[in-house]
Every structure is written in structure tokens, then in C-alpha cells.
Structure 1
Amino acid sequence: MIEKFERAAEEAGFVLDASQIAAAERLSALAAELTGRRRFFGGKQPRGVYVWGPVGRGKSWLTGVFYEALPVRNKRRVHFHEFFREFHAVYARHRKERNACDLAVAELLSDCRLLFFDEFHVHDPGDAMMMGRVLTSLFDQKVTLVTTSNYPPDGLLPNPVYHHMFEPTIKLLEGNLDVLEVAGPQDYRAESTTGAARSQFQRGAYIWPGTEQQLREAGLEPPTDGERQRIDIGGRDLVARAVRDDLVWFDFHELCDERTSTIDYLGLADRFGTWVLSGLPELTSGSRDAAQRFANLVDVLCDRDAKLYLVADGPLADCLRGDALPIDINRTASRLMLLPGSATPGATRATRQA
């Protein structure tokens, strides 16, 4: 399979660096194990692969090439957040059973033998505890896991107050997966010139400070007070500034300062493909929880290939600054930098006030 990686890189216009080659070789070996005869005649379960490193180094691209080229049917690729949303829904039906977690995993994956999680990260301690049970069930049911992350396993759930709670799960990951760092010198996403750096957020725009003229130039009619609408999501109401067919318009305060969750964002993304989020402040002035919710929202919208119009109080560099930012803000910034208008040359606090 290594030739497929080299060919895909050539078609995308770049050459594999040393860390990408090492990852490609390990993924090629895994492909051989998954498709070899021993796999179907009681052979040992292949070890999975955990690919981590900074944003834009080609982790998702490498694992995507592997997944698409792997000639097996019983495989599944799913974003981490999507899988756990499905899991919670199925788990609720089995929760009275003693082995509810095992039953839910078996129902979700059926005969799946290879599961691919993209963007694996853990911040919520409640999710972390359930995740340990799910991973144990996955490995007990002989599912091989491949995942990408911006963190090494021992960097997951980084909050020092809770990190010790996740240490057994870290050992579980390290015991079942080969950990590979992909951290070459080139940030392909920042350059955005190759297939490895393709971003869904090349649609939409970053708009600041968001005057009515700027909004109309972007094709957005400013919402009126009469367009405010309550949207039921998960049994409670969220207030949108406007709902227009496939477009939903939220204020940052209404969506991120409230106790919303990634599950809420996934439900909304099922219904709306075009988003306007207005009032993005300089995050240093807000709460860490609101900043983390914003980062989670960006993850969901990017992975869903949504069109995002982000209306901010200032340049992106000013907004994504401060001590209240989530640890993985680099991933958020990397994605938002590809919104047209987000990297205006010379955009500073001074030019905004001029």
C-alpha cells in the first residue's frame, strides 16, 4: 500500500516527509494484517494505530488514504463526536442491562472489525469515564482502532484536576495501539495549496466588525427582531436570531455562553448547512467554557462541511488571544484561518479603531 500513499501525495502536489513516511509504512503493514489470510483463520487481532501531532501535518490525510484504499467491507469511519452521540442514544435503550455498554457497542458496530476515529480528544471528565468503558468494550470485541489526534495519549484530558482519572484509559490506549507522531516541518493546512490541506471552510467568510454593508456585501441580509426564533434541540430551546430555510443565524452569547454541548451542535448541523455566528468577542474577555464550546462548534461545522459566516468584533488574531482559551485552540485557529477574510494583511486592533 505504500505506493498508494506516494501516488496520492504526488497527485496532491507534495512529497511525503520522514514522519509521514513512517506513518504510511505502519498503516501499510496494518492493511496487510487486516487483509491477510491469518486474519480470517483465527490469527491474532492486529494492533491499531494512534496518529498524533500538530495541526496541518497530514494526519487525517494519511489515515484517509489508508481507509479508502483498504479493500475490506467491515470497516467504519466516523468522527469521534458523532460516534459518541450515537452511542449515548443506543446506550439509553440498554441502560437497565448489566452489560449495557457492551450491548450498545455491539449494536453500533455489528460486524465492524476496523473503526476509524478522526480528531480524538477529551476535555470533559464525564465523557472521559464513559470513553474508558467504550474503549474497553471495543477491544474486548476484537475491533481494531485507528485514530488521529492533536495530543499524545498521555496528553488527553489535560486538566490536572481530572487527568489522573483518565490514566487507566491512557494505559489501555497505549496497550492496544501503536502511537505514531506526525510532526513534520510543513504546515500544509496553513499553506492550503495541496490536497492534504483541503478545508471545508473555504466556503463562507470571516467578517469584522460586521456592519450592515459588510453583511450585505457577503450576501447576508441582517436579521430583524421579528425573525428571532426558538429551536427545540434535545428537549430544550435555543434562541436563533434568524432561520431561513437551510440557514441558521446565532449570536455567540446565545450559543456558546449558554450550557450547550457538542451533541446540541451535531443536532443543529443535521438541520442546517449554512451558519452565521455573530458577536464573536475577543475570547480573553469571556469564560474558558464558552471558548471551549466555540472550539467544539468549529470542529462540528468543519467536519460537516458547513458553510460558516463568522461575524467578529475584531481580527481573528485578536479574538483568539488570551488566557481563557482552550488548549487545542491551535486546531480552531488553523481551521478558521481558511475562511476568506480571516487573514487580512495588516489587520490589527489599531486599524479597527481607526
Structure 2
Amino acid sequence: MTANTVAGANRSLRRRYEQLATEQGFVADPYQDKIVDTLDDLLQALSKDDLDSRPGFFARLFARKPNPASAPQGLYIHGSVGRGKTMLMDMFFDQAPVAGKRRAHFNDFMADVHDRIARHRAEVKAGTAKGDDPIPPVAQDLADQAKLLCFDEFSVTDIADAMILSRLFTALFDQGVVLVATSNVAPDNLYRDGLNRQLFLPFIGLLKRHVAVLDIGGTHDHRMAKLKRLPVYMTPLDAQTAGRMDQAWAVACEGHRPAPAKVSVKAREIAVPLAAGRAARFRFEDLCSQPLAARDYLAIVERYPTLFVDGIPVLDAARRNEAKRLILLVDVLYDRHATLIATAAAEPDALFQGRPGSTEAFEFVRTASRLVEMQSETWQRQSDATSRPEPAPAPLSD
């Protein structure tokens, strides 16, 4: 694909946005309008720039270096949860006239970067690669693969990420890579209160030189407003309940393409069967029949504060481990004031049928109470009003 593919596609994102509004029956948001127009401007710039025509590795050996000044300025869109940032970025990504493009959650991208750094060091040790500094070759490989990077949920909480971002993105921008990102925080608040933050500050300056920073504005969470009109705890487990669950999931997915994803926790990855923006959908077995712990549930909820869980069964003594994990999961959801949409075999107070007086039976009383509270209008209003700022930076050691 070349830039000519979309030549003359004036205001193509605007047309797609208005089409989506008609199809899904929502009123165009004036706060989103300004973002749509700016993204359309970037589409126009990309169609003229033709990032894909820039020389690759071997061409660069015998040609002048890329001119980063010729690359269009990227965008950094920040604002409250549920304002449509991810939806707009995904619409932009779909129409971007660049074959070499990549769309990723920022944490997943950084996990890939650390993997590439580790591989380069292993190759140097094995004598199959040269260079003590892995950042330049890693950045070069990334730039060769994608001249347009689109990041969702730009958030810096890890000191290892913070310490390499400035050098990594200096190299990427030098290769003419264009960045479009969404975030809940303005650039100046990235890695706020993080360890050795003064070493991170050059990245903020670098970022602001290469992207236009836009605050989407507004405070209304469109998606949650629609979800609140739907039931959030549905029983029994039958075809009608499954249909209502699918309806709620469709609302949560508006503007997004559901797809499998992964959440990284230390050196492990947790499979997410379906994810769409800030919502994820699991079967009960995915979350409670696997050896997951509090750290895992916290990582999932930080990434996906709207959680769909299909098929919570009635639990007994034979499934006490699953009961313990459900107790832990609900505690995490409750403490994080996350939104749970679930289908279950019974009402909360009848979900556990284990031995009376057992530890699980005692603890499940709290779980049932919380499941009931999380269905209330008061809880839903509080959930909507509760902001979810960038998480606190992770400690150096566990």
C-alpha cells in the first residue's frame, strides 16, 4: 500500500465517525469532534509523506540518512476514562495509509522492547552480534518494521521502562517514526513521583517536540452510561441470559474490534480471550480454574477496569480452590471500584454450597454482599465518577 491509495480521501475519518454515529445511534460529541479533525489532518499529512517509501536497512548503507524533520508531527491524546480516545485512535489506525504500522497497548510494546534487548545481549554473548549498547539496533529493527506506532494507554510505571524511553524514542524519531498515543494523563504527569524521575524528564521534552498534545476534554463516560442501563449480574445460565450478556458486551465494544490479548505479570503472560478498549471478557474457568493470584487479578483490572465474566457456577467443597479465587477476584474488583458484568448459575448468596462453618463459607458471605452492592445504582454512579489515574510506579523489587 502507498500513499496514493488514499489520495483525495478528504476528511475520511470524519465520514467514518459520522457513519458510526448513525449506525450506533449516538450523538456526535463536540469534545471528540476536535480530535476527529486533528486525526484527519494527520491522515492527510501521512498520505502526502508516504512513510513506506523511506529506505530500509540496505538502502541506508548507501544513501543519506532519513530526515526526521520531514516526518509529520504525531499526536498524544489524553483525557478521562470512557471519552472515546481508543475508539478514535483505532479508526485512525484502520485508515492510516501506511503499510508498516503497528498498534499496541503501550505495556505490551515495552515488554516486546525488553525481550528484544535481552535477545540482542544473548546474541552479543554468543558472538553472533556486535555492540554493547542494545538500544540502537533494537530501535532500528522497530523502525524498519513500523513507521507509524499507535499506542493505547500510554502509561509509565516501571523504572526499567522509564530509564530507556528517552534513548529509545530519540532513535525512533531520528528514523522518522510517527507516534500516535492515548493516555489518561498529560505528558507532564507521566511517571509522576517515580523513582529517579529527574532522569525521565528528558523523555517528556522529547515527546512534546514530536507530538501535538490534545486534551479530549469532557468528563462523561459514554460507554458506562449505556452499560448502566443494562443488568450487570444475570442469572440463571440459559440462552436468554447469554443473549443479554452479549448485548452488554456489544455496548462495551462500541468503536473497538474485540480481539485476544495478553497481560504481562513479571515474567508471565495471562491470556485474555477477548478485549476491547478498557473492557475484557473471560469465562469463569479462565479466571478461577487457573493458578492465578492477587497480583494477576490486579494486573488484569488495572488494564481492564470493566470485566465481563461468563458462567459463574454454584461452587461446593470440591471446588474450594475456585471459590477462593472468586473471593479474591471480587475483593480486587471491589477495592479498585471496577465494573463487573457477569452471568451466574444462582444469586450471590446461593453461589457457594460448601460445608457450613468452613473458611470459604465464612469468607463468601462478604463476597456475596459485595456482588449485591456492585449491582446497585449507587455503586454504578460511584464507579462512573471514580477516576482511574496512572497507577503508582512499581517498586524496584518485589
Band the TM-score falls in, shorter-chain normalisation: 0.5 to 0.7
Contact 2:152 2:182 in 1 (8 A): yes
CA RMSD, 1 decimal: 4.2
**How much does 1:319 deviate?**
3.2
Tell me whether 1:80 sits opposite 2:106 in the alignment.
yes
Tell me whether 1:296 sits opposite 2:330 in the alignment.
no
Tell me whether 1:311 sits opposite 2:313 in the alignment.
no
**How much does 1:347 deviate?**
8.2
Tell me whether 1:50 sits opposite 2:76 in the alignment.
yes
Contact 2:264 2:270 in 1 (8 A): no
Contact 2:157 2:194 in 1 (8 A): no
For residues 110 and 195 of structure 2, the distance between their equivalents in structure 1, rounded to whole angstroms, comes to 23
Partner of 1:197: none
Partner of 1:344: 375
For residues 119 and 109 of structure 2, the distance between their equivalents in structure 1, rounded to whole angstroms, comes to 16
**Residues 295 and 140 of structure 1: CA distance in aligned 2, closer, same or farther (over 3 Å):** farther
Tell me whether 1:123 sits opposite 2:157 in the alignment.
yes
**How much does 1:133 deviate?**
2.2
1:153-172 aligned within 5 A: 153-159=187-193, 161-172=195-206
**How much does 1:193 deviate?**
5.3
**Residues 304 and 189 of structure 1: CA distance in aligned 2, closer, same or farther (over 3 Å):** closer
Q: 1:262 aligns with which of 248, 253, 265?
A: 265
Q: 1:24 aligns with which of 25, 36, 53?
A: 36
What percent identity do the matched residue pairs reach? Answer: 30
Q: 2:17 aligns with which of 5, 29, 39?
A: 5
**Residues 171 and 275 of structure 1: CA distance in aligned 2, closer, same or farther (over 3 Å):** same
Partner of 2:166: 132
Partner of 1:177: 211
For residues 191 and 326 of structure 2, the distance between their equivalents in structure 1, rounded to whole angstroms, comes to 30
Partner of 1:105: 139
Tell me whether 1:89 sits opposite 2:115 in the alignment.
yes
1:125-167, Cα deviation, whole Å (9 max, x unpaired)? 2221122222222111111000100010011111265433321
Partner of 1:256: none
For residues 306 and 162 of structure 2, the distance between their equivalents in structure 1, rounded to whole angstroms, comes to 22
**How much does 1:76 deviate?**
1.0
Counterpart of 1:24, as a letter, is: V
Count of residues in correspondence between the two structures: 268
For residues 36 and 159 of structure 1, the distance between their equivalents in structure 2, rounded to whole angstroms, comes to 41
For residues 33 and 136 of structure 1, the distance between their equivalents in structure 2, rounded to whole angstroms, comes to 22
Contact 2:237 2:311 in 1 (8 A): no
1:15-53, Cα deviation, whole Å (9 max, x unpaired)? 232221111111100011111167659781101100100
- What is the SS of the residue equivalent to 1:311? helix
Contact 2:309 2:341 in 1 (8 A): no
For residues 314 and 303 of structure 1, the distance between their equivalents in structure 2, rounded to whole angstroms, comes to 13
For residues 305 and 109 of structure 1, the distance between their equivalents in structure 2, rounded to whole angstroms, comes to 36
For residues 193 and 313 of structure 1, the distance between their equivalents in structure 2, rounded to whole angstroms, comes to 24
1:280-315, Cα deviation, whole Å (9 max, x unpaired)? 99xxxxxxxx78x75433255689999797734797
1:205-232, Cα deviation, whole Å (9 max, x unpaired)? 889xxxxxx9xx779xxxxxxxxxxxxx
Contact 2:74 2:210 in 1 (8 A): yes
**How much does 1:264 deviate?**
3.6
For residues 333 and 212 of structure 2, the distance between their equivalents in structure 1, rounded to whole angstroms, comes to 39
Q: 1:34 aligns with which of 46, 49, 52?
A: 46
- Specify the structure having the higher radius of gyration (Cα): 2
Q: 1:189 aligns with which of 198, 218, 223?
A: 223
Contact 1:136 1:172 in 2 (8 A): yes
**Residues 314 and 347 of structure 1: CA distance in aligned 2, closer, same or farther (over 3 Å):** farther
For residues 318 and 275 of structure 1, the distance between their equivalents in structure 2, rounded to whole angstroms, comes to 13
Q: Structure 2 unaligned runs (5+)?
A: 1-11, 55-66, 125-130, 239-262, 274-281, 313-324, 343-370, 380-398
**Residues 218 and 118 of structure 1: CA distance in aligned 2, closer, same or farther (over 3 Å):** same
Q: Structure 1 unaligned runs (5+)?
A: 195-201, 208-213, 220-259, 282-289, 321-328, 349-354
**Residues 261 and 3 of structure 1: CA distance in aligned 2, closer, same or farther (over 3 Å):** closer
